Structure 1
């Protein structure tokens, strides 16, 4: 029987009592599982803040580790009655907290944080939650045991802070340590480099860990337990009448995730798409003893053409290279981006015309990108300007590229709402069109598009 990979995120672990509920969910499957866990809620944020605190204060490492010990000790006492079991788990936690304290003291004394050290510190939360979850799973009758990514050989490309898994190597290594005869519990969020250092997959990266495992063991599905009703037609904080989307394609899910839908890590679909392994999104808040997906993510069905959802991100800025010949002179884009590459600045997207090249960046990179591009001498570029306080709206759905009328619905809705479109791009993705508007128009634009495409 094929295994199911089940992932419990921080939204499932907001309080110590949530651990037991997650165990009841796992026990309800009645099928072989691999369980992937995130850190307890807020723990990763504590560790990120703790890095700066430790650099500035010699007392901070003690305080941070004491606070983390209290959080996890509370969960341990609440759920584990056997003193022998408690002591066993406590010994593991104490060892990992001691290691964390040494790392924090180390960065205090050197006054800097090497990338590999940062990743090891930030990933500590998962290594603290996993042994507790494994113990609670044993309590409800599952043969659970922790398996660390460094033990199973979850190899990454070595890019600290935003690593990618080596899928070929993982497919060779992982099945032997994730036997269906037991219930492995894996700390998510990170893998290891060839030299044995920890490299994280970025925020929300436990979803990606689970996807890599699901692909490696050819799981029947990847089940993500969240605190929302799957993918929605819009952000319910802005669009109260948003509805659950029962089925989205891999490409649709990736687009929505990149543009603000916090349902899954944007790269979760990458390992699964080729093998058509479905992602099933569950709501732990609605668990009633049955396994009920709210949204299933799978291959494109091509049975209808519609805009399913709208999403937005305000984490964006634009640098505009302007000149009468930028669209016709060869090599201008390559010349302009050489300095960006050297500075390690990623370009999110490029929108071009004959007189303007628009480079899109994460907001945190905008000032540096603008400085680099202004320092470059690029032929035909007569002005380099930055554009802030903007948002990208993504209208997502199968058939956008080849179905007449869908785009006109979007622009008609924006015109009726008197939202000015600064830039737009359609056709680059088969399932999404992007509209750039002023930040203050974001909510109005989202509601206008949503209400138009979901009218009736």
Structure 2
């Protein structure tokens, strides 16, 4: 005996039913086949809708009934030759007339009982099973049909009836002893009480019907045919990298099905597990796929078999000092819930006995609140316990695996992965068998949590990093170019899939579900909506993607002001914008603290020295216990370019204009020449070395005359450079006279910082600094005799983009 169950999608159309017949024709004709079928896909929902509308006194139910009739009539006409149609149409009409009469009666009384709803819902399976049986006969198979209600006996708990297994097993065994056909088709989902009332086994109950028949007949195997190729390591609708589970144990399958895996109805497993009958989940539309085999001793390499989740959960917490040391509170809590037929999904209790928390379906929370507060009304009135605390909009995420108990650190890995991505765990439950660790999280985080855990436990080939970029000018466009160029390397060598999900410039912003095409990003961004930074921030938070990184390539105060929102949401921030780190010390410290508190990276290597490892080197020194004695640096590539080219007959104005034209200075060169930019950089280095310092604490020995700084426009500024040409020439000649070169130097020592133009001698490390290069000298306790030197290109879009690129990799690793 083999039992095969076909789900709603497997019999949901003419082609699907033909595929079912094709599968059955290719089964070896050895013994009998019990074939259990669901209603055609979507029909049960329409039947429920009919009953509800009729119970509400809305005549719209007649329209739904007509839709149900039309769909089945169309299927008969497409599936069968004309000579076979009249008998089937007659049977269909008879059943639908009964259904219509039932709905009319409900409409007249204006009330839908659970008993009546079970009768209404039964028609889907009763019709589809007849069509499948008749089609098998048309295909030349020795097939018959049997009403499951004549075999499966239940109580009268309508909607989710409990099976009387002794009576049911006896009737099934007796029937099959005399059943003549090779292929016997049964309607799933439906049963009957001893008084003859139609009952149902719960949504998804057709699986259960098949399991009941398989267990009663000691079948060799139970095949569950559906529209997916078996169970997956996670819901593929939420986790794109989910992989098939080829083998799984009964216990693991049961845990996963209870925690949201929709491939198999939870009660299905118990009857066949007791008889050790294998369950094989197969894909009707890809029958060659292996599917999932559920049996004893499934052999796998991963400690975690699957990850599942249940949405729309409410947490109920009963707490109070009056509970400590007093027996019976838990029993009374569960009795109150039992009286309301409320299913408890998760239980956790504090060791102090001060509180107990349970998880239930959100639809039951109001009933639960009323029942529990009523049960404990006296204790609540006497202030011994608090009124029941109800929290909604929760989800349960569970990891399941037989081998978890043999692997140390599984729970630590789970909580670490969630914590790094800002997913807050509200409650925890773990069975003593260590096959399941369940966590309650906010419903908004379930997609991210499932993906994060899947990466952590299944070592997917690629770790996904989702980035959002503000600023796509010189630096931003170079960064996108580098990401595109290095895409293959990142995947093959580092196992990273970097996806650009959001872009924004001063005019347009656009977020996408999938990564931008990095060859067409300009065209894609042009289709976006007007830039609204608060809206852009909110959309990023709402997407709530794992391993998210916000990148700021701007010099905008508005953009810098949103870093805290991202860090609090577990989104890392990478920036070349110096405003945040050189603002008030309290703001700088708050961002650093938020990054640590919410496990989000806050990286700003390119604030100083573009792509040079200036800040990371300093951080490494401090982390290893070294102490900074002094920092001396040339930190402006633009100023270094200017003074390296301010030689011989070149005028200062000409050199500054050349630096601006090359893109080495800001559009207003005074931002660079004033020394304020260098002040910000040495401030950041001083703070990173441990100093509590503000920008106003830094001394600026400006070389620019006040008239140049105060010029009303850039054009007027250049005119003032001509006016004061002699001033600049004198500075250069003074240095030339003693064989020195001009360098704009920043210095931090003994808690004080300054910036200014200096003449450096040939034996100084700054003397031969060329072009737009930067140099930093760290003198520390360990590097006392000779300073640690970091030197290289300190300006330019390419090197700045490469520094941002490196910070992105750091956030991911």
Does TM-score exceed 0.5, indicating one fold? Answer: yes
Structure 2 distance, partners of 1:46, 1:343, is 27
Equivalent residue for 1:340? 337
Equivalent residue for 1:363? 362
Q: Choose the corresponding residue for 1:406, options 388, 405, 410.
A: 410
How far did 1:426 drift?
1.2
Normalised by the size of structure 1, how large is the TM-score? 0.93
Equivalent residue for 1:149? 148
Judge which range, 275-284 or 252-261, deviates more: 252-261
2:21 aligned with 1:23, yes or no? Answer: yes
How far did 1:374 drift?
2.2
Task: Assess if the C-alpha contact under 8 Å between 1:327 and 1:352 holds in 2.
Answer: no
2:323 aligned with 1:319, yes or no? Answer: no
Q: How does 1:2-401 map to 2 (within 5 A)?
A: 3-31=1-29, 32-57=32-57, 59-60=59-60, 62-83=62-83, 85-151=84-150, 153-178=151-176, 179=179, 181-287=181-287, 293-301=290-298, 306-353=303-350, 354-376=353-375, 377=377, 379=379, 380-401=384-405
Structure 2 distance, partners of 1:125, 1:303, is 39
Judge which range, 320-329 or 333-342, deviates more: 333-342
Judge which range, 344-353 or 47-56, deviates more: 344-353
Secondary structure at the aligned position of 1:270 is classed as helix
Secondary structure at the aligned position of 2:321 is classed as coil
How far did 1:70 drift?
1.2
Provide, for residues 284-310 of structure 1, a one-character-per-residue CA deviation record: whole Å limited to 9, x for no partner: 1213xx5x5410011244776710111
Provide, for residues 244-298 of structure 1, a one-character-per-residue CA deviation record: whole Å limited to 9, x for no partner: 01111111111111222110101110111111001101111213xx5x5410011
Bigger relative CO (Cα 8 Å, ≥ 6 apart) = 1
Structure 2 distance, partners of 1:211, 1:33, is 13
Structure 1 distance, partners of 2:299, 2:324, is 35
Change in Cα spacing, 1:429 to 1:141, as seen in structure 2 (3 Å) is farther
Change in Cα spacing, 1:351 to 1:58, as seen in structure 2 (3 Å) is closer
Q: Choose the corresponding residue for 2:419, options 415, 421, 435.
A: 415
Change in Cα spacing, 1:58 to 1:260, as seen in structure 2 (3 Å) is closer
Secondary structure at the aligned position of 1:141 is classed as coil
How far did 1:99 drift?
1.1
Structure 1 distance, partners of 2:385, 2:199, is 39
Superposition RMSD on alpha carbons, in Å?
1.9
Structure 2 distance, partners of 1:161, 1:213, is 20
Task: Assess if the C-alpha contact under 8 Å between 1:335 and 1:378 holds in 2.
Answer: no
Structure 2 distance, partners of 1:389, 1:203, is 23
Secondary structure at the aligned position of 1:168 is classed as helix
The count of aligned residue pairs is: 449
How far did 1:146 drift?
1.3
Task: Assess if the C-alpha contact under 8 Å between 2:247 and 2:300 holds in 1.
Answer: no
How far did 1:168 drift?
2.0
Change in Cα spacing, 1:378 to 1:336, as seen in structure 2 (3 Å) is farther
Change in Cα spacing, 1:443 to 1:282, as seen in structure 2 (3 Å) is same
Structure 1 distance, partners of 2:292, 2:310, is 22
Task: Assess if the C-alpha contact under 8 Å between 1:324 and 1:355 holds in 2.
Answer: yes
Query: Who wins on radius of gyration, i.e. which is larger?
Result: 2
Any unmatched runs of 5+ in structure 2? Answer: 462-813
How far did 1:372 drift?
2.0
Task: Assess if the C-alpha contact under 8 Å between 2:65 and 2:100 holds in 1.
Answer: yes
Secondary structure at the aligned position of 1:328 is classed as coil
Task: Assess if the C-alpha contact under 8 Å between 1:167 and 1:271 holds in 2.
Answer: no
Structure 1 distance, partners of 2:447, 2:257, is 18
Task: Assess if the C-alpha contact under 8 Å between 1:401 and 1:426 holds in 2.
Answer: no
Structure 2 distance, partners of 1:400, 1:355, is 30
Equivalent residue for 1:438? 442
Change in Cα spacing, 1:429 to 1:66, as seen in structure 2 (3 Å) is farther
Structure 1 distance, partners of 2:194, 2:58, is 33
Change in Cα spacing, 1:208 to 1:279, as seen in structure 2 (3 Å) is same
Provide, for residues 188-208 of structure 1, a one-character-per-residue CA deviation record: whole Å limited to 9, x for no partner: 011111111111111111000
Provide, for residues 420-447 of structure 1, a one-character-per-residue CA deviation record: whole Å limited to 9, x for no partner: 2111111245421101111122111111
Task: Assess if the C-alpha contact under 8 Å between 1:321 and 1:384 holds in 2.
Answer: yes
How far did 1:15 drift?
2.2
Change in Cα spacing, 1:167 to 1:426, as seen in structure 2 (3 Å) is same
Task: Assess if the C-alpha contact under 8 Å between 1:304 and 1:398 holds in 2.
Answer: no
Change in Cα spacing, 1:59 to 1:325, as seen in structure 2 (3 Å) is closer
Normalised by the size of structure 2, how large is the TM-score? 0.53
Secondary structure at the aligned position of 2:9 is classed as helix
Secondary structure at the aligned position of 1:333 is classed as helix
Structure 1 distance, partners of 2:193, 2:305, is 39
Task: Assess if the C-alpha contact under 8 Å between 1:33 and 1:180 holds in 2.
Answer: no
How far did 1:39 drift?
0.5
Structure 2 distance, partners of 1:150, 1:333, is 39
Change in Cα spacing, 1:385 to 1:89, as seen in structure 2 (3 Å) is same
